[in-house]
A and B are shown apart, each in its own frame.
Chain A
Amino acid sequence: DGGITQSPKYLFRKEGQNVTLSCEQNLNHDAMYWYRQDPGQGLRLIYYSQIVNDFQKGDIAEGYSVSREKKESFPLTVTSAQKNPTAFYLCASSMWSRVNSPLHFGNGTRLTVT
């Protein structure tokens, strides 16, 4: 079945460590996205990528980095510079070539930094 896979489901890190969240899709979608979700908040866009080797900052990119070396993969690194990294992180993809194509989400990674 086609879909988006995020791993791991739960991640625990000590403050000051960088951590990388994985996102893989086999939907042949051009665009991929990373969102952050905090309790009682909507989803906030961190980074997005429309094509391989290209990505753009979203609304809250500070303290995060991404890469898009393959169409299927869009890993997110939460760096030690991110002041409040504990959150639920969601990866999504869409067919960018289709105007207003809806996003399809993975099942998220819950990151806890202590």
Chain B
Amino acid sequence: GQQLNQSPQSMFIQEGEDVSMNCTSSSIFNTWLWYKQDPGEGPVLLIALYKAGELTSNGRLTAQFGITRKDSFLNISASIPSDVGIYFCAGTKGSQGNLIFGKGTKLSVKP
């Protein structure tokens, strides 16, 4: 069953605002990944995190691997209309474990 809790489920924000979303689990993860999915398309990898405490940026996106290894967050600064989509967190628990996905955060941006 689903082992990642992703929140919020959806967000409606004004263009220019910052966004924050997170994933938590009761289990320890070795990898955290953040994906974005546009409508009718496949998810695209945004950021990959491999070490506890790691903080990584990709343009206006910043993600962190929680120090407890049980959570991760994604921040988007100064949102723009093309940020609209569904953001998924995903993680692996073992060295060759399959990815486990959160249920996604649907982001809507008002111009």
Residues of A within 8 A of B (CB): 4, 6, 33, 40-45, 48, 58, 90, 92, 96, 99-100, 102-108, 110
Contact = CB atoms under 8 A, between A and B. Distances in A.
A105 B42 contact: yes
A108 B42 CA distance: 6
Interface of B: 2, 4, 6, 9, 30-31, 33, 35, 40-45, 48, 50, 88, 90, 92, 95-96, 98-99, 101-104
Contacts, number: 55
Q: Which of A44, A104, A105 has the largest number of chain B CB atoms within 10 A?
A: A105
Contacts of A106: 42
A104 B45 CA distance: 7
A83 to B, nearest CB: 18
Contacts of B41: 107-108
Q: Which of B9, B90, B99 has the largest number of chain A CB atoms within 10 A?
A: B99
Contacts of B99: 45, 103
Main secondary structure of the interface of B (DSSP, over half): loop
A100 B42 contact: no
Nearest to B42: A105
A26 B101 CA distance: 25
17 contacts: A40-B9, A42-B4, A42-B88, A42-B101, A43-B43, A48-B98, A90-B43, A100-B30, A100-B50, A102-B33, A102-B48, A103-B90, A104-B45, A105-B43, A106-B42, A107-B40, A108-B42
